[in-house]
Structure 1
């Protein structure tokens, strides 16, 4: 990169640092006055809905991180993936060649593969509605009330596939007060965003609200051979809300949301020279080449109707009816060269209907919730593995229909004024019907092409399977004082089994067999405490998980790198243990410090792997490590409030850290070292005005998030001994955002 280009990229960062340092100097001048005031306020009460009812964070015996809309705004959180920096032992990232597909892991448990038919290990919720597919789940922060991250199995109350935890995107509720908000943002790489939101009463008991956002940015790099933007952003999102309160006991709420992502499909950065074109790795990790169009389209959304009826002062009935659907049309060039060595165009379609009936009770010594849940979902897709230089295309396609039924209940009872007991359980039954095909064609094909006669049928089968499980939870909570609570719990987690949608029976005759559910038993001890007249809050959790039948998707090049074998492993046994700390200190009436620290020790005990090249099952537990699971995570954030420039000024600055990460279960060149990011910002409020200057990744730290690894064979010295899949050495990485600076101006009417 030229000196001029480097200076151009540094200029916004220098501007942000200069402004923040200048504002900090103003803050220092006001600090003596703040210290003399000695009016140290206690920390605000944080409300969460971790147990499906509104509670004080400090009384909930679950490890929960809650970030309010104001906190996220002041910390520069732009979308759901940014939340990972403020929740210990949490990974929320954009998946590989996409822009809005989510890869989520909590405490080492998740699902890397976003292919249809596979279930996530972390449940994503919009309010009380489960989002079954990860496409479009990297939601921008738009008119949100808060985001909650629940760590550890949440199956008793949340059900499907919350074996690692749950992430709740809680939207802003309608109050009936007329309002209209507008915010515009300009930033690095020609960022230009616009957010509009508002609400108004249509009558005394009927309110309507809306939110709309458009998020746009040029690419961080280019596709060198076409000139198209790489890592650009072109997203629109909207939401409509209605609320009707016909009586004090009854409320009816409706919400509809839709997201359109037309950003370009991402091109990967080649870590090694191309065997075909001789292309060397580019200077910028955001530059790439492609042999396909960069068109990408993701449209996802849904509708939800929630009825709540207060039967009496103790009992409340709730009904949640929801529908969601999504369509994806994308082109991902795995080898990232101008030749069609290994290209993957794909189409996905999914839809889901869910119905939940819920009964809440809060009567004296009893608090609890129980209910019935039903899901009817269908996920379909087709993708091509284009081996253009070999003159052939492998086509995978099919559908999975899922019907899930569940009944659950969980309650807490006060055995004494200080001691309470929690018992709960959920019975789940999933029935899955799958059809899978895998065809070999001569020539190059795309999903939209007309039907043709294949050269070879490698898989073509239909099958059904039923999975069921009772998942219990038990716990004790003891209130040592008004400000200190300790708890211990045991929770069983369950993630449904299924079928491998890439099954290649010509290589693995058992590929059509269903894989089993995942099971985890988690034991957790926690302490939630407030000290110094509620100016210091410390929440600590330590946990141990016994993890069985972990589902791991493995793809290997076989038959001298002319074909691909896929399998979903129930990878034997593993154990996970760790500690989490979250602390907040109101050091003065103006200065607040926030810190979190997470530690995870995750180990495989046994991994039974069918090696298609050897044709037998082997134990590879000594070679494997947990993917997307850094041993250490943490952040340290300072916030300073003062009166300045005729209004209120909030200065924020912080460091976020993640230790080294292995991208896949097996070691590869993609594995990445530790990363520390520096963010800083200034938010100014006066009357209805709000102005924010935000700098993210101010040291311009380069860090890899994901990649594809179809490496060419190598000898013991690392020398390439032959071509890889498609004739190429495909080792490509995808990276986090570089340094960016943005300025936002908002007004509330």
Structure 2
């Protein structure tokens, strides 16, 4: 079947749609129910999903619960052309790509290409952005640039995570989960009206623990374990019928062990062979890892009248990370990297919404101020030195935006918008060489300076939007749009001027001009929802992070502005209520992404090289699809649902340069049984994921040695070893969950 996919993507889309019957006769059968309306806020106002002329997917709290979704990375298997997964040797740092656009390097100073929003507050750093599902109202994923309404760094798309709204009735919910690898989770959620119709408090807390999927063989410590505590609290004051204030705070603490990579090749230093289990590793570093994030926000909403609403969102967030990354994954410190990051951000948004008979519009002002600092030490134990990179980047960003939709007639509507953004960045970067093994918190004697500079720059960009949609009937709408996206320029915090003389120069912003056509339909007496989108991205100055060893005792980093690249593709989403008991769903994504212009400075050859035909777009499989079903029956007055799905992801490149780390296509099979009591207070679920125990690589490090045709070592990699280490998705897991709510 996989070869058929590669030969006929359009045929697959048609065949998926054909799985969902559209016979008008079936629609007349007794007992058949229609699909529920899905409400989204993609355009910063509440609308029916089927009326929004952009590609957006939405998941309600009920959807997430019945599918056993633990965190947002589970969603990638239900989304076309989307990658959401844990970054390399981390537990809660997010790598996000949508339609071939994202950022695979989580270092401070580099900005993501997919915006993450929690209750409308932008999360600037990927550390701690693997959000666990706790007290959620909904999650929306917007595909394609969202530069007009959401601003810079949503050049690929945006993910909106909304916590549960309060109500006048007190609520309480407790959920416990037990699973293999000694998984033990506890979640408590609830809300209380302090003063009826006026003052409310709500919140949730969770402790999430699991033993490792593997271990560090030389120390016995867990590898791929989980140890997270998280919580949030929200207070809402409805000062009047037209004015309300929401004060919110949250905190997450991740003390899981740092993840150790799996060696794909034998070690040149210790002779260690690849282990049988991909979750096993060795390390010469302490199992020290801590990621803390917390924040607070104040939202004021004033319904001025039936047409106008004013909103103010003020927020502050901060984060701290200390982690230990053993690149070579051996008991010898030939290539170890302890690292220390911290960041904070302050944001303010003023927003004015207008809803009239024909015109709906939103405009606003946005301010962002953020500081990100850090240091990491590359300990090269065999050479007896440590290379330390460190520094800070301070960012101030201002923007003003407007977007409106006007109904020319009952069927034809046009939208027009734009945003102007101004970014200012101040950076300080150093690269020192120390004798022996040094950690970021230690003092040391500098024996060489490879970089030490300060600089500042600023960039401004206007990102427009133009769209048109036509309502052929109450159930079928077609649309076309042009949207521009923008991601800010910046500085390479790993700059090594000794190896790359231009390393202190800022890299430019990247921009994308995105064109999209699609249709949304609700057919078969509201029982079939079928949405299709086709897109083309013209990508300019794409920021590509490259690291290369310079001999075995040094490395050079660059952030390239690739001259040009293109992404074009097709997406399909379908769900059908076949009967009142049986629902089928399907998603499909196809993307053709490639560099068309790309020149980089090779630090070893000391010259520029054209690699447009050799390099690839990372973290972007050509094909993805998901097929699922839910069948519900009554057993002893308890509603019982049986769910099953398969998710396929095609071959994927981990980095822009093809390597042994690249992963072949794979399929995951999942199944669940969920039962609910007659009074709907009790929900019991049994969830199995990756039931065939598929082994699949999602990230890695590649500092390989050079070999001749006979397999003899010509030159070792950085640190003196052949460092090719991979990180893997979850193995087969089974979890039993009990939820009680009133």
TM norm structure 1: 0.94
1-structure distance, mates of 2:265, 2:102 = 29
Provide, for residues 164-190 of structure 1, a one-character-per-residue CA deviation record: whole Å limited to 9, x for no partner.
Answer: 000111111111310111111100100
Q: Could you tell me which residue of structure 2 aligns to residue 628 of structure 1?
A: 619
2-structure distance, mates of 1:718, 1:607 = 31
Provide, for residues 184-241 of structure 1, a one-character-per-residue CA deviation record: whole Å limited to 9, x for no partner.
Answer: 1100100000000011011021000120001100000010000000000000110001
Provide, for residues 371-395 of structure 1, a one-character-per-residue CA deviation record: whole Å limited to 9, x for no partner.
Answer: 0000000000000000011100000
Match of 2:498 among 489, 497, 506: 506
Contact kept, 8 Å, 1:365 with 1:413, in 2: the verdict is: yes
Match of 2:588 among 592, 597, 605: 597
2-structure distance, mates of 1:633, 1:320 = 37
Q: Could you tell me which residue of structure 2 aligns to residue 730 of structure 1?
A: 723
Match of 1:562 among 553, 561, 572: 553
2-structure distance, mates of 1:289, 1:152 = 41
Q: Could you tell me which residue of structure 1 aligns to residue 544 of structure 2?
A: 552
Provide, for residues 687-724 of structure 1, a one-character-per-residue CA deviation record: whole Å limited to 9, x for no partner.
Answer: 21110000010010000000000000123565432211
Match of 1:161 among 146, 153, 159: 153
Contact kept, 8 Å, 2:435 with 2:445, in 1: the verdict is: no
1-structure distance, mates of 2:277, 2:701 = 18
1-structure distance, mates of 2:289, 2:710 = 40
How does 1:272-671 map onto structure 2 within 5 Å?
A: 272-450=265-443, 452-558=444-550, 560-671=551-662
2-structure distance, mates of 1:497, 1:49 = 29
Structure 1 spans left out of the alignment, 5+ residues: 1-33
Matched, 1:747 2:740: yes
2-structure distance, mates of 1:481, 1:473 = 25
Q: Could you tell me which residue of structure 2 aligns to residue 264 of structure 1?
A: 257
Structure 1 residue 615, shift from structure 2 partner: 1.1
Structure 2 spans left out of the alignment, 5+ residues: 1-25
Secondary structure of the 2:149 match is helix
Q: Could you tell me which residue of structure 2 aligns to residue 5 of structure 1?
A: none
2-structure distance, mates of 1:335, 1:46 = 48
Provide, for residues 14-64 of structure 1, a one-character-per-residue CA deviation record: whole Å limited to 9, x for no partner.
Answer: xxxxxxxxxxxxxxxxxxxx9997321111000011001111000001100
Contact kept, 8 Å, 2:27 with 2:524, in 1: the verdict is: no
Matched, 1:178 2:155: no
2-structure distance, mates of 1:704, 1:478 = 43
Contact kept, 8 Å, 2:669 with 2:689, in 1: the verdict is: yes
2-structure distance, mates of 1:651, 1:256 = 37
Matched, 1:699 2:692: yes
2-structure distance, mates of 1:324, 1:87 = 29
Matched, 1:130 2:149: no
2-structure distance, mates of 1:421, 1:715 = 61
Contact kept, 8 Å, 1:359 with 1:370, in 2: the verdict is: yes
Contact kept, 8 Å, 2:152 with 2:485, in 1: the verdict is: no
Contact kept, 8 Å, 1:38 with 1:588, in 2: the verdict is: no
Contact kept, 8 Å, 1:174 with 1:209, in 2: the verdict is: yes
Secondary structure of the 1:227 match is coil
Contact kept, 8 Å, 2:42 with 2:142, in 1: the verdict is: yes
Secondary structure of the 1:389 match is coil
Q: Could you tell me which residue of structure 2 aligns to residue 54 of structure 1?
A: 46
2-structure distance, mates of 1:703, 1:47 = 35
Contact kept, 8 Å, 1:38 with 1:589, in 2: the verdict is: no
Contact kept, 8 Å, 2:570 with 2:590, in 1: the verdict is: yes
Provide, for residues 77-130 of structure 1, a one-character-per-residue CA deviation record: whole Å limited to 9, x for no partner.
Answer: 110111101110000000000000000000000000000000100001102110
Matched, 1:109 2:84: no
Q: Please list every run of at least 4 consecutive aligned residues from structure 1 whose deviation after the TM superposition is greater than 4 angstroms.
A: 34-37, 716-719
2-structure distance, mates of 1:119, 1:625 = 20
2-structure distance, mates of 1:705, 1:576 = 21
Secondary structure of the 1:99 match is coil
Matched, 1:237 2:230: yes
Structure 1 residue 75, shift from structure 2 partner: 1.4
TM norm structure 2: 0.95
Provide, for residues 262-300 of structure 1, a one-character-per-residue CA deviation record: whole Å limited to 9, x for no partner.
Answer: 000000000000000000000000000000011100000
Match of 1:118 among 104, 107, 110: 110
Q: Which moved more, 1:206-215 or 1:642-651?
A: 642-651
Secondary structure of the 1:465 match is strand
